[in-house]
Amino acid sequence: MDNNRSMNWMDEVMKSKDRLLADLIALLRYESVKDLSSSAVGQPMGKGISEALQFMLDLATKEGFNAHNLEGYAGYAEYGPSDAEDHIAVLSHLDVVPATGKWTNPPFEPSIRDGRIFARGAIDDKGPAMAAFYALVIVKRLGLPLKHNVRLIFGTDEEHASTCMQRYRELEKPPLCGFTPDAEFPIVNAEKGQINTKLILQRSEDFDSSWQSEAGEAGEAGKVGETGEAVVFELLHFYAGGIANMVPESAQASIKGEECELTAMAAAYEVYCVNEERIGSSEVDGGRITFSMTGKSAHGMEPQHGVNAGLELLHFLGGYRYQPAAERFVACVDDCMYRDCYGRRFGVDMQDEITGSLTINTGILKFDPNGESFFHLNLRYPACGEDTFILERIADKIGRFGFVIDQPILKKPHAVPADYPMIPILQKVYQEATGLAPELLATGGGTYGSQIPNGVAFGPLFPGRAYTAHQPDEYMEIEDLLQATAIYANAIYQLANMDVEAEERE
């Protein structure tokens, strides 16, 4: 729009800086981790998420927006002409992943230092949600004319199965197009497909031993005791990780056996940790040994940047013999997943020029002799892939060890054409604000952009900045938060006045 040429969006943002930061600090205080133990009617994701959602809707009401709570699954704040045929969506999420690891300050007690705001959710996704909210506040305050309504949608289950958006689509008309401030700048217009599922160990011991010859170290005879026979230990439990789309940073195992054999195992583990440059410890207490392993957490879409503590510990354990169910568990996980983030061991490695390589993360691993034993897959595949083929390959591999695939949650690859009218608008807005080339990007992450027609991800991470989502001491640069707010205000204004042909509305 012509009158946008003289608009200084950053000046408008600075007028609201103090209020924006105060409201963001208040939002970050809510421990909005999914908690089904506190689930109830109107708060399906639990008490903390429900409170964070209501906080945003109350803010929206105070600003004069039309606010709606959709059964606690999602909410929205809307502004624009009452007779508009379409609306533009800006989607953010208020749920966060658990705050694991060591934090300088408590993760839900926000702190500002060195020009950054620290808290769980600071950049994923409460900071960007508040930036988008104040962007719309600015557009409203300026009284700028709009052709389309603008709807800020607040989700509650993005970090898990996005059931919030499934319910939203059941209850509401889809937007014309939109963006989510939940990735990186410039514009992410293509996303990988995803497969999320558990690979579950079956209890029947009616399996042949063919898997042992295919399992590498995990299938070997194991350590030999003083009698010259293989020593068989009892795996009492194994556990690593807590959320599917994070690389586990810790793992624990407990094993029963003869004390002298366990002492030798502890010594071998110490050597293993030194040789592999890993941080681990063990403790022998009578006829039981407890192991721990420390890795490095990372986002599930980039497992190659982490160290999976569960896989590192299981690889060591794979050099020993156990009761049959434990033997198959250790052998399968080690053979299928050890130091392979790209699916080569499953025979599903692939890549394309648009969305890159397939990646696999196993974020939760559990062996329980008296309960369920499984490892979880968070697999992200490029646009050239097909979920049926991938699942068939995985099923064939794990079936040899007596595992089956649980009902998977599937997400197809998503892409918005470069010539769709929204794309050049966002490119121009970004380039005018930063002076940087507005390239189109692809991601292995799953964002709300794929949950709506013609949806993309637009920021908030600027090129060259560290991405601290899902990490201890998560933060967002305050300078970036303010600049993103200015960019979003301009983008909202431009998109809300976008001309779209009839065929492009479909």
Which tens digit of pLDDT belongs to each residue from 104-144?
A: 999 999 999 999 999 999 999 999 999 999 999 999 999 99
Buried b (16+ CB within 10 A) or exposed e, 240-270: bbebbbbbbbbbebbbebeeebbebbbeebe
Torsion on CA atoms 334, 341, 202, 217, rounded to nearest 10: -10
pLDDT confidence band for 216 (50 / 70 / 90):
very low
| pLDDT for position 92 | 98
Domain ends where: 347, 382, 411?
411
Which tens digit of pLDDT belongs to each residue from 451-477?
A: 998 999 999 999 999 989 988 999 999
Please indicate, yes or no, whether residues 401 and 425 belong to a single structural domain of this protein: no
Specify burial of residue 84 (Cβ count, 10 A radius: 0-12, 13-18, 19+). middle
Q: Is residue 222's pLDDT more than 70? A: no
Assigned token pair, 165: 């958006």
Look at residue 164 and give its three-state secondary structure.
Answer: helix
Domains held by the chain: number: 2
Please indicate, yes or no, whether residues 212 and 318 belong to a single structural domain of this protein: yes
Catalytic residue among 158, 159, 334, 477: 158
Residue 95 catalytic?
A: yes
Please indicate, yes or no, whether residues 450 and 496 belong to a single structural domain of this protein: yes
The model scores a pTM over 0.85: no
| pLDDT for position 209 | 52
Find the CATH number of the domain harbouring 202. 3.30.70.360
| pLDDT for position 500 | 73
Q: Is residue 217's pLDDT more than 60? A: no
Q: Is residue 235's pLDDT more than 50? A: yes
| pLDDT for position 220 | 44
Please indicate, yes or no, whether residues 419 and 323 belong to a single structural domain of this protein: no
| pLDDT for position 488 | 98
Q: What is the C-alpha separation between 253 and 310, in angstroms, rounded?
A: 9
Domain ends where: 366, 389, 411?
411
Q: What is the C-alpha separation between 9 and 275, in angstroms, rounded?
A: 55
Assigned token pair, 275: 């040789």
Which tens digit of pLDDT belongs to each residue from 376-394?
A: 999 999 988 999 999 999 9
Angle in degrees, CA 188, 190, 192, rounded to 5: 120
| pLDDT for position 1 | 43
| pLDDT for position 206 | 53
Tell the residue number behind the tokens 């982490």, with chain if given: 306
Please indicate, yes or no, whether residues 372 and 431 belong to a single structural domain of this protein: no
| pLDDT for position 275 | 97
Category of 118 on φ-ψ map: left (φ > 0), alpha (ψ -120 to 50) or beta: beta
Please indicate, yes or no, whether residues 181 and 246 belong to a single structural domain of this protein: no
| pLDDT for position 141 | 97
Q: Is residue 228's pLDDT more than 70? A: no
Q: Is residue 214's pLDDT more than 60? A: no
Q: What is the C-alpha separation between 375 and 66, in angstroms, rounded?
A: 44
pLDDT confidence band for 160 (50 / 70 / 90):
confident
Please indicate, yes or no, whether residues 331 and 404 belong to a single structural domain of this protein: yes
| pLDDT for position 82 | 86
Catalytic residue among 12, 31, 78, 95: 95
pLDDT confidence band for 444 (50 / 70 / 90):
confident
Q: How would DSSP label each residue in 306-340?
A: SB-HHHHHHHHHTTSEE-HHHHHHHHHHHHHHTT-
Mean pLDDT (the chain) is 92
Domain ends where: 353, 376, 411?
411
| pLDDT for position 504 | 54
Which tens digit of pLDDT belongs to each residue from 289-328?
A: 999 999 999 888 899 999 999 999 999 999 999 999 999 9
Assigned token pair, 461: 């991470």
Please indicate, yes or no, whether residues 376 and 430 belong to a single structural domain of this protein: no
Find the CATH number of the domain harbouring 445. 3.40.630.10
Assigned token pair, 185: 């700048």
Q: What share of the chain is helix, strand, coil (3-state, %, to 5)?
A: 35, 25, 40
Which tens digit of pLDDT belongs to each residue from 39-56?
A: 999 999 999 999 999 999
Q: Percent of the chain, pLDDT > 70?
A: 92
Output phi, psi for 111, to 5 deg.
-135, 145
Range of the domain at 399: 194-411
